[in-house]
C-alpha cells in the first residue's frame, strides 16, 4: 500500500495493493497493523454506506464536538472527494484538497478530525463507504457552505442536487469559534 500526502497535514490518499486477474480482484480495504504503520487510525467506532446519483453534492459536514476522522472509499462509481481544514489556529485553516475516488482506482482518502468533508458524484450512481473514528452525534452535527467563495473549492461539475441543510449552511467566516472543532493543529 502507498500513502500519498495532499498538502494538508494529516489528509492522505491511500492506494491499497490490489490483486487482480481475469476473475476479478482482491484488496484489503483496511488492516489495523498496515494502516497504523502509516500513522492512520487502528480503531473505528462506526461505518456508513451511502448511495447517490450523478450530480449529488453532500457536504461540507463536520462535528464541532466529538469530531470524526473518516477513511472514505467508493465501492461503485466515482466521486470527487473534498476535505477542508477548519481547525482554529491551523496554518492551513480554510484550505481544501480534493481527489477523485472510484471503484476502478481503489483509492481511499483519510480525513482527520477537525476537517469538514464533502463529495460530489461524477458517475450515474456511486456507492460510498466510510469508517469513522467516533460515532455520529446529531447534537454536534454542522455544515459549511459547499460553495464558500473564501474556500474556493473547484468542483468538477455543477451540482444537480444539494440538501436543504447544505444549501443553507453558512460560510466558514460566519461560524462562531465555539461551533468549530476543538482540535489542535
Note the pLDDT tens digit of each residue in 131-176.
999 999 999 999 999 999 999 999 999 999 999 999 999 999 999 9
| 35 — pLDDT class (breaks 50, 70, 90) | very high
Residue 48 lies in a domain: yes
pLDDT digits (tens, 9 = 90+) for 95-110: 999 999 999 999 999 9
Average pLDDT over residues 99-125: 97
Residue 184 lies in a domain: no
Q: Please say if 110 is a catalytic residue.
A: no
Residue 131 lies in a domain: yes
Residue 185 lies in a domain: no
Q: Please say if 130 is a catalytic residue.
A: yes
Q: Taking the model in full, what pTM does it have?
A: 0.93
Set 61, 106, 117, 131: catalytic member: 61
Indicate the number of domains in the chain: 1
What's the whole-number average pLDDT of the chain?
95
Set 62, 117, 130, 131: catalytic member: 130
Structural domain for 137, as ranges: 2-18+27-179
158 with 121: CB under 8 angstroms? no
Here the CATH number for the domain that contains residue 153 is 2.60.120.10
Amino acid at each position: 500500500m502507498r500513502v500519498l500526502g495532499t498538502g494538508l497535514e494529516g489528509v492522505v490518499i491511500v492506494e491499497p495493493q490490489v490483486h487482480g486477474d481475469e476473475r476479478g480482484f482482491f484488496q484489503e480495504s483496511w488492516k489495523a497493523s498496515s494502516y497504523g504503520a502509516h500513522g492512520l487510525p487502528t480503531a473505528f467506532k462506526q461505518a456508513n454506506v451511502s448511495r447517490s446519483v450523478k450530480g449529488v453534492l453532500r457536504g461540507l459536514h463536520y462535528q464541532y464536538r466529538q469530531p470524526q476522522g473518516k477513511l472514505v472509499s467508493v465501492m461503485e462509481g466515482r466521486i470527487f472527494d473534498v476535505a477542508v481544514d477548519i481547525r482554529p489556529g491551523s496554518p492551513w485553516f480554510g484550505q481544501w484538497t480534493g481527489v477523485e475516488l472510484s471503484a476502478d482506482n481503489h483509492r481511499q482518502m483519510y480525513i482527520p478530525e477537525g476537517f469538514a468533508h464533502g463529495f460530489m458524484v461524477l458517475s450515474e450512481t456511486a456507492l460510498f463507504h466510510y469508517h469513522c473514528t467516533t460515532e455520529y452525534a446529531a447534537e454536534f452535527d454542522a455544515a459549511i457552505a459547499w460553495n464558500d467563495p473564501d474556500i474556493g473549492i473547484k468542483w468538477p461539475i455543477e451540482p444537480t442536487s444539494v440538501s436543504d441543510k447544505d444549501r443553507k449552511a453558512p460560510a466558514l467566516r460566519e461560524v462562531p469559534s465555539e461551533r468549530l472543532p476543538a482540535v489542535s493543529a
